[in-house]
Amino acid sequence: MSDRIATIKRKTLETDILLELNLDGTGVAEILTGVGFFDHMLTSLSKHSKIDISLRCNGDLDVDDHHTVEDCAIALGQAFDKAVGDKRGIVRFGHAYAPLDEALARAVVDLSGRPNAHISLLLDDGMIGNLKIENLAHAFESFAMHAKITLHVDVLRGLNSHHKAEAAFKALALALRAAVMKSDSNDAVPSTKGVL
C-alpha cells in the first residue's frame, strides 16, 4: 500500500477548514475548531484510532456551532475516503465496544463505499460546553456520508452526557482502526464485486 494520507481544504461562507490526515499514524492530534468539546472528541478519535489528524477551522461561531461541527465532519469524511483509496488489502469491517465509567458504546463500520448511518447516542437536548448535543449525531452522520462508509453507533447505557459521547467516539476510533488494518490474506479488494 502506498502512503494513506490526505489533505482537504474546504472554504465556504460559513467555515474555512484545513485538514490533514494519516491513516497509518500514531494518534497525534492537532485540533482547533473553536468548539472545545468537539476538539476533545476528535482528539480522542485520533488517539484511539491511531489516525493522525491536523485540523484547523475558522467558523461562524458567532452564529452557533452547527456549521463548524458539520463542515469539520464532512472534511474528515472526505479525507478518510481519499486516504483509504481503493481499499485494496484492507480488512474492511470493524466493530468495537468502548466504556467510559458508567457509559458503554458500540460502533460497527463497513468501508463499503455505500454511505449509511444509524446513530443512537441516548443524549438529551442541551449543551456540553459550547457544543449543542444535537450536533454530535449529525457529526457522525456527516462523517459517514462523506467517508462513504456504513456506520452504526449505539450508546448502550450511561448517565453522564460527556461520558456517553466520549464512549461513542472511542468506539468509532477502535472500529475504524480495525477496518483500515492491512489484511493478512492478500492485496485484493475485500468484496465479491472486486471494487468498493
Whether residue 186 lies inside any domain: the answer is: no
Whether residue 25 lies inside any domain: the answer is: yes
Whether residue 194 lies inside any domain: the answer is: no
- Is residue 185 over pLDDT 70? no
CATH number at residue 56: 3.30.230.40
Whether residue 192 lies inside any domain: the answer is: no
Q: Of 42, 50, 92, 93, give the one whose Cα is nearest residue 72.
A: 42
Per the structure, the count of domains in the chain is 1
Whether residue 187 lies inside any domain: the answer is: no
Burial status of residue 126 (CB atoms within 10 A of its CB: 0-12, 13-18, 19 or more): exposed
Reduced to 3 states, what is the DSSP secondary structure of residue 106?
strand
Give me the domain span that covers residue 116: 5-180
Whether residue 189 lies inside any domain: the answer is: no
Whether residue 160 lies inside any domain: the answer is: yes
Report the pLDDT value the prediction gives residue 192, as an integer from 0 to 100.
Answer: 64
Order of all β-strands in the sheet with 116-120: 93-100, 103-110, 150-157, 116-120
What predicted TM-score, i.e. pTM, was given to this entire model?
Answer: 0.95
Which residue has cell 459521547?
165
Confidence of residue 147 (pLDDT cuts 50, 70, 90): very high
- Residue 101: partners with Cβ closer than 8 Å, 6 or more residues away: 160, 163
Whether residue 30 lies inside any domain: the answer is: yes
Q: What tens digit of pLDDT does each residue of 38-63 get?
A: 999 999 999 999 999 999 999 999 99
Q: Return d(Cα 195, Cα 188) in angstroms, integer.
A: 9
Is residue 119 within 8 Å of 137, Cβ to Cβ?
yes
